[in-house]
Structure 1
Amino acid sequence: MGVVVVGSTNLDYLLDVAELPALGETVLATALTKQPGGKGANQAVAAARMGARVTFVGCVGNDDDGTLMLRQLRAEGIDTSEVEVLGAHSSGLAIVYVVRNGDNSIAVVPGANSQLSATRVRRVVSSRASRGSVVVVQQEIPADAVRAAVAAADEGGARVVLNAAPAGGPAHELLGLCDPLVVNESEAGHLVGGAVTDRAAALRAADELALRARSVVITLGADGAVWSDGHGATHVPAPAVHDVADTAGAGDAFVGVLATVLADGGGLGAAVEAGVLAGSYAVAHTGAQSSYPRREDLAIPA
Structure 2
Amino acid sequence: MSEPAVLVVGSLHVDHMVQVEQLPVPGETVIATGSWSQLGGKATNQAVAAAPYARTTLAACVGDDADGRRATATLTGLGVLPALQVSATLATGSSVALLDAAGENVGVVLPGANIDLQVDGVASTFRASPPQLLVCQWETAAPTLHRLLESARQAGIPTLLNAAPWHADPAYHATLALADHVVVNAVEALAWIGTDPLVRATHLPFGHSSVVVTLGGSGVLHYSDGLLTTDLFAPAVQARSTHGAGDHFVGVLAGHLALGASLPDALRRAVASAANFVQLLHKHPSAP
Same fold (TM over 0.5): yes
Letter in 1 for 2:259: D
The question of 1:69 aligning with 2:65 is answered no
1:232 maps onto 2:233 in alignment: no
Which residues of 2 match residues 205-284 of structure 1 at below 5 A?
A: 205=204, 208-209=205-206, 212-230=207-225, 231-242=227-238, 244-284=239-279
SS in 2 for 1:270: helix
Residue 6 of structure 2 corresponds to residue 10 of structure 1: no
CA RMSD of superposed structures (Å): 1.9
Q: Distance in 2 between matches of 1:196 and 1:48?
A: 33
1-structure distance, mates of 2:143, 2:211? 22
Counterpart code for 2:198: D
The whole-number CA distance in structure 2 between the counterparts of 1:153 and 1:46 is 22
Structure 2: gaps (5+ residues) = none
List per-residue Cα deviations over 1:181-206 (Å, max 9, x = no partner).
Answer: 000011111211x14262425x543x
Secondary structure of the residue aligned to 1:233 is: strand
Change (3 A) 1:216 1:197: closer
Residue equivalent to 1:23:
26
The residue aligned with 1:124 is 125
Q: Which residue does the alignment assign to 1:88?
A: 89
Q: Deviation at 1:289?
A: 5.2
Alpha-carbon distance change, 219 to 158 in structure 1, aligned in 2, over 3 angstroms: same
Q: What is the match of residue 164 of structure 1?
A: 163
Q: Distance in 2 between matches of 1:78 and 1:118?
A: 20
SS at match of 1:49: coil
Shift of the 280–21 alpha-carbon distance from structure 1 to 2, 3 Å rule, reads same
Aligned counterparts of 1:148 and 1:48: Cα–Cα separation in 2: 25
Equivalent residue, structure 2, for 1:142: 141
Change (3 A) 1:256 1:187: same
Please identify which structure carries the higher helix content.
1
1:250 and 1:288 in contact (8 A); partners too:
no
Amino acid at match of 2:213: I
Q: Residue in 2 aligned with 1:35?
A: 38
Q: Which residue of 2 aligns with 1:293?
A: none
User: SS at the partner of 1:85?
Assistant: strand
Corresponding residue for residue 179 of structure 2: 178
Unaligned runs of 5+ in 1: 291-302
Q: Percent identity?
A: 36
Contact residue 135 and residue 159 of structure 1 kept, 8 A: yes
- What's 2:57 paired with? 55
Shift in Å, 1:41: 0.6
Q: Under a length normalisation based on structure 2, what TM-score does the superposition of the two structures give?
A: 0.90
Shift of 1:14: 0.8
SS of residue matched to 2:32? coil
Deviations 1:110-133 (A, max 9, x none): 011111123333333443435xx1
Question: Residues of 2 paired with 1:237 and 1:43: CA distance?
Answer: 22
Amino acid aligned to 2:85: E
The amino acid across from 2:86 in the alignment is V
Structure 1 length-normalised TM? 0.86
State the 1:145 CA deviation. Answer: 1.7
Deviation per CA, 1:10-66: give whole Å up to 9, x if none.
11111111222222222221111111111001101101022x111111111122222
**Structure of greater relative contact order (alpha carbons < 8 Å, 6+ residues apart):** 2
- Does the 8 Å contact 2:15/2:38 carry over to 1? yes
Counterparts of 1:68 and 1:225 in 2: how far apart (Å)?
36
Which sits farther off after the overlay, 64-73 or 263-272?
64-73
Matched, 1:196 2:196: yes
Q: Distance in 1 between matches of 2:284 and 2:157?
A: 26
Aligned partner of 1:300 in structure 2 is none
Matched pairs, number:
279
Between the aligned partners of 1:68 and 1:223, the Cα distance in structure 2 is 38
Q: 1:276 to 1:264 in 2, by over 3 A?
A: same
Cα distance in 1 for partners of 2:104, 2:229 equals 28
